[in-house]
Amino acid sequence: MIIVKIGGGAGINLRGIIGDLAELKEKFIIVHGANALRDKLAEDLGQPKKVVTSVSGYSSVYSDETLIDHMMMAYAGARNKRIVELCHQHGINAVGLSGLDGKAVQGVRNKGIRVYQDGKLKVLRDYSGKPEAVNRPLFDLLLDHGYVPVVTVPIIDEQNTAINTENDDVVRVLQKALHAETVVNLIEAPGFLENRENEGSLIKRIPSAELEAREGQVDGRMKRKMLAVRKLFEHGASRVIIADGRSEHPVAEALAGKGTVIE
């Protein structure tokens, strides 16, 4: 079983990815983002996303009801259905699933973000959280009958409310539940880079045992990405490939070892 995560950037070569997947012998599922589409939609609607800064200095997107609506439109709507359409055009019998559908991906809502507002300490609660479990029987039912799940956010929380979460975390719970050996993560870069500004600085191999040490050397979004990869190995993945989703054959090249191979 392979999990193919398709990034939500505007430069991702969807047609190339789905064409490659149609040639794949192994079973696979797709998890995808849509951040470029969501940000464009929010901007075009004049309702850009809000960012809040916690008392401890971390910035995060404030997931209010409007943001969840935009996610439903961009992720579960346009991007998911265009990917499903493209799959059928390549002979892949795809079924799109948000985490809400059949409670495919279940999470726990965040307790709130501690912020200062007008000089007072407040707890801002939004519609965001962490995935904890998947509806394994639903995935098995679909996979056993030849369907390929195409999964995206939002997910469902313990009160059956739609919440925002990181797709990296969705991949984590799916990998654990479905015992996927390989995770291919297609992004808008050649792989993990030593220097974010230089696409020539690709890190070609990382032994999985070195991931924790590497986390100490990077920060921000990269640190979070490294941690997400490390968790995949903790739950039994044997290979994670971070590769370029913009190339002509993103999946074929990734599986041939192009990109950052962690094993």
Residue 113 and residue 191: Cα distance in Å, rounded?
32
N- to C-terminal Cα distance for the chain?
16
Binding interface with its own copies (CB under 8 A) = 41, 44-46, 69, 72-78, 80-82, 84-85, 88-89, 93-98, 100-103, 137-138, 141, 145, 147, 154, 156, 159-162
**Which CA distances in Å does 259 have to 46, 81, 139, 205, 242?**
37, 28, 29, 8, 6
If the CB atoms of residues 163 and 202 are measured against its own copies, the closer one turns out to be 163
If the CB atoms of residues 158 and 194 are measured against its own copies, the closer one turns out to be 158
Cα Rg for the chain, rounded, in angstroms? 18
If the CB atoms of residues 31 and 237 are measured against its own copies, the closer one turns out to be 31
Q: Tell the smallest beta-carbon distance from residue 127 to its own copies (Å).
A: 11
Residue 61 and residue 49: Cα distance in Å, rounded?
7
Q: Tell the smallest beta-carbon distance from residue 90 to its own copies (Å).
A: 9
If the CB atoms of residues 139 and 233 are measured against its own copies, the closer one turns out to be 139
If the CB atoms of residues 105 and 261 are measured against its own copies, the closer one turns out to be 105
Q: Tell the smallest beta-carbon distance from residue 37 to its own copies (Å).
A: 9
Q: Tell the smallest beta-carbon distance from residue 72 to its own copies (Å).
A: 4
Q: Tell the smallest beta-carbon distance from residue 11 to its own copies (Å).
A: 19
Please name which of 133, 142, 122 lies closest in space to residue 30, comparing C-alpha atoms.
142
Using DSSP's 3-state secondary structure scheme, residue 175 falls into helix
For residues 32 and 20, is the Cβ–Cβ distance under 8 A? no
Q: Tell the smallest beta-carbon distance from residue 162 to its own copies (Å).
A: 5
If the CB atoms of residues 2 and 92 are measured against its own copies, the closer one turns out to be 92
- Here the tokens at position 201 are 């600085």
Phi-psi region of 107 (alpha: psi -120 to 50; beta: other; left: phi over 0): beta
If the CB atoms of residues 75 and 233 are measured against its own copies, the closer one turns out to be 75
Q: Tell the smallest beta-carbon distance from residue 41 to its own copies (Å).
A: 7
Contact partners, residue 72, CB within 8 Å, separation at least 6: 98, 154, 162
Please name which of 131, 152, 160, 151 lies closest in space to residue 235, comparing C-alpha atoms.
131
